[in-house]
Amino acid sequence: MVLSRRTYIKSLNDEELVKVFQEKQWADCIDEFYQRYGHLVFGVQLKYVKQREDAEDLTMELFEKLPELLLNHQIDYFKGWLYRVACNLALGILRKSKNNLQIPVEQQQISEIEEEDWLEREKDLTLLSMVLNQLKDQQKRCITLFYLEQKSYNQITQLTGCTFKEVKSHIQNGKRKLRILMEENQGYESK
């Protein structure tokens, strides 16, 4: 069975994907990196520039520059490298900005602890999205509406047709099940 290019690219880990891009320069590789890390790069940008629109622009700028960066750098650990590139881009913009002449020292230095936190959060989010799909449909829907979409119990009852008591039960049982599934899968390594 022949794999499509897209399927092949999705099957690669980050470092393999970097090598494929450096060899073949497929735009699909950059698209895959965006799918994997666009939201995390946006979060880093937002942390520094504070404005959603500016963070979106910086995220797009980074992914536009990514092909050239990948061709010109030796990358052993992509996630850590990308984090540093994202931070440096944001700090560079802050330095140039007339509104931000003084950048706090703590923002000028990218600590390894901060990088590890970012990588740990990314791993947790990947694991959470994986185990969320293992919940019963109503539990998954109620958990998603309550925690991710910030809906109230009353709004969830209207959206799902469940009673208030059922919504409360789905959220409590779903949360308990998620905790168990997360603990069981702590050894999970994202690819």
- Kindly report, residue by residue over 65-109, the tens digit of the pLDDT: 999 999 999 888 898 889 888 988 888 887 776 444 444 444 444
Whether residue 38 sits in one domain with residue 99: yes
Whether residue 138 sits in one domain with residue 74: no
Whether residue 94 sits in one domain with residue 27: yes
pLDDT at residue number 100: 45
Confidence of residue 191 (pLDDT cuts 50, 70, 90): very low
How many domains, in total, are found in the chain?
A: 2
The answer to whether 177 and 133 have CB atoms below 8 angstroms apart is no
Confidence of residue 119 (pLDDT cuts 50, 70, 90): low
Residue finishing a domain among 83, 109, 135:
109
SS (H, E, C) 29-91: HHHHHHHHHHHHHHHHHHHHHCCHHHHHHHHHHHHHHHHHHHHHCCCCCHHHHHHHHHHHHHH
Whether residue 105 sits in one domain with residue 38: yes
Say which CATH number the domain at 75 has.
1.10.1740.10
pLDDT higher for 122 or 165? Answer: 165
pLDDT higher for 36 or 115? Answer: 36
Whether residue 64 sits in one domain with residue 9: yes
Whether residue 120 sits in one domain with residue 101: no
Whether residue 18 sits in one domain with residue 98: yes
Number of H helices, E strands in the chain: 10, 0
Helix (H, G, I), strand (E, B) or coil at 100: coil
Whether residue 152 sits in one domain with residue 118: yes
Whether residue 125 sits in one domain with residue 186: yes
pLDDT in tens, 4-52: 999 999 999 999 999 999 999 999 999 999 999 999 899 888 888 888 9
Whether residue 181 sits in one domain with residue 138: yes
pLDDT higher for 48 or 121? Answer: 48
Residue 153 belongs to domain spanning: 111-191
